[in-house]
Amino acid sequence: MSDRTGFTSLRPRGLNFDSFPMRLFTKGNARQWNPADIDLSQDARDVAAMTDDERWWTCALAAQFMAGEESVTQDLQPFLGAMAAEGRLADEMYLTQFVYEEAKHTEAFRRWFDAVGLTDDLHPYIAGNEHYLQIFTEELPGSLQALAQDPSPRNQIRASVTYNHIVEGTLALTGYFSWQKICASRGILPGMQKIIKHIGDDERRHMAWGTFTCRRHVAADDALWDAVDERMQELLVPAMGVVTGTFDASDSPPPFAIDMNEMAEYAMDKLGRRLGAIESARGADLRVIDVDASPEALEERFHAEDSAELVAAG
Ligand SMILES: [Fe+2]
Ligand SMILES: [Fe+2]
């Protein structure tokens, strides 16, 4: 039995290409990349030349990312079902691209580990980080899987805050920025630099979709702003614990001039500004939200700021 009675794409004007999700979809289609095309031979030489400490830090970061990309590949899938249940074909289409990109990110990190010769079990790099495990084995899968039973706006907000604003917007973004600094400061790991640049480009669209999704629910029902705030409060401590956990797990001071406070500040700044973008949707007209490009513009602004800072640091 199916509840399909008609076809969105057959309706007059079928898909609104000006809608936010269709714009993201179109943009993403034009920016596809292939992890297998990236040359990782210099990365293998750079990793071999590192001190043990530098190698540990580099691999711990890469392992956290790879397991995180695998998690988000699997955990996004209930959101596709939630969009289908709501009859939002454009969002469903965009999320197929989104999940494909997460799969590609997982591939890129695994190719990197294989290329640099780290083919042993990598679990020890994450095993001691209890907050990492809390986020990736409980909070993330739990809040996304809740959508399969009940795709309500409230559950969508809880899932999006966890996935888009904490995991992508706080953890991943902070880490990608550190990667760029590590690599650029020494001129090492050119393959990883390319990987991170592509992933960062994809992630800006992902986070913009998360902001958009929260905005449309908050605009439709002002009481849902509390759901955003509540989920954020629940996750702030474990999220910060993921960042500090890597520092705790190492006996020696971090190499590559990685600064924990700088990372935490960076994360909080972006998080606060994204939340501001969601809050600004309170009381807004839903028709405006659906075509409003501001979540995308915000991510582009963050990117421009990061690029300027990297140039200044270099
Ligand atoms: Fe990703
Ligand atoms: Fe992502």
Q: What is the CATH classification number for the domain harbouring 288?
A: 1.10.620.20
Range of the domain at 118: 37-313
Confidence of residue 167 (pLDDT cuts 50, 70, 90): very high
* Cα 146 off chain centre by: 20
In angstroms, the first-to-last Cα distance of the chain is 60
Q: Is residue 32 part of a domain?
A: no
Among all ligands shown, which has an atom nearest to the Cα of 203?
Answer: 2
Two structure tokens written together for 249: 């797990």
Q: Is residue 278 part of a domain?
A: yes
Neighbours of 122 (CB within 10 A): 18
Q: Is residue 133 part of a domain?
A: yes
Q: Is residue 125 part of a domain?
A: yes
Q: How far is 98 from 77, CA to CA, in rounded Å?
A: 10
DSSP 141-187: HHHHHHHHH---HHHHHHHHIIIIIIIIIIIIHHHHHHHHHHHHHHT
- pLDDT of 103: 98
The Å distance, Cα 203 to ligand 1 centre, comes to 6
The Å distance, Cα 201 to ligand 2 centre, comes to 10
The Å distance, Cα 185 to ligand 1 centre, comes to 23
Helix (H, G, I), strand (E, B) or coil at 77: helix
* Cα 265 off chain centre by: 18
Among all ligands shown, which has an atom nearest to the Cα of 205?
Answer: 2
The Å distance, Cα 192 to ligand 1 centre, comes to 14
Phi and psi torsions of 86, nearest 5°: -90, -5
The arithmetic mean of pLDDT across residues 232-261, rounded, is: 79
Domain count, the chain: 1
- Residues near 203 by beta carbon (within 8 Å), at least 6 away in sequence: 168, 172, 173, 176
Q: Indicate the length of the chain as a whole number.
A: 314
Q: Is residue 11 part of a domain?
A: no
The Å distance, Cα 208 to ligand 1 centre, comes to 13
The arithmetic mean of pLDDT across residues 167-194, rounded, is: 87
Instruction: Give me the percent of the chain exceeding a pLDDT of 70.
Output: 97
Q: Is residue 2 part of a domain?
A: no
**For 76, how many CA atoms within 13 A lie in the half-sphere containing its CB?**
24
CA distance to 105, 122, 210, 298, per residue, from 139 (Å)? 21, 22, 17, 26
The Å distance, Cα 166 to ligand 1 centre, comes to 13
Q: Is residue 175 part of a domain?
A: yes
Contact 78, 145 (CB under 8 A): yes
The Å distance, Cα 294 to ligand 2 centre, comes to 19
Neighbours of 222 (CB within 10 A): 11
The Å distance, Cα 91 to ligand 1 centre, comes to 18
Which residue carries 């929260």 as its tokens?
214
The Å distance, Cα 11 to ligand 2 centre, comes to 31
Neighbours of 96 (CB within 10 A): 12
Question: Bigger pLDDT: 164 or 295?
Answer: 164
Q: Is residue 13 part of a domain?
A: no
Has residue 254 got a pLDDT over 80? no
- pLDDT of 185: 76
Has residue 1 got a pLDDT over 70? no
Among all ligands shown, which has an atom nearest to the Cα of 106?
Answer: 1
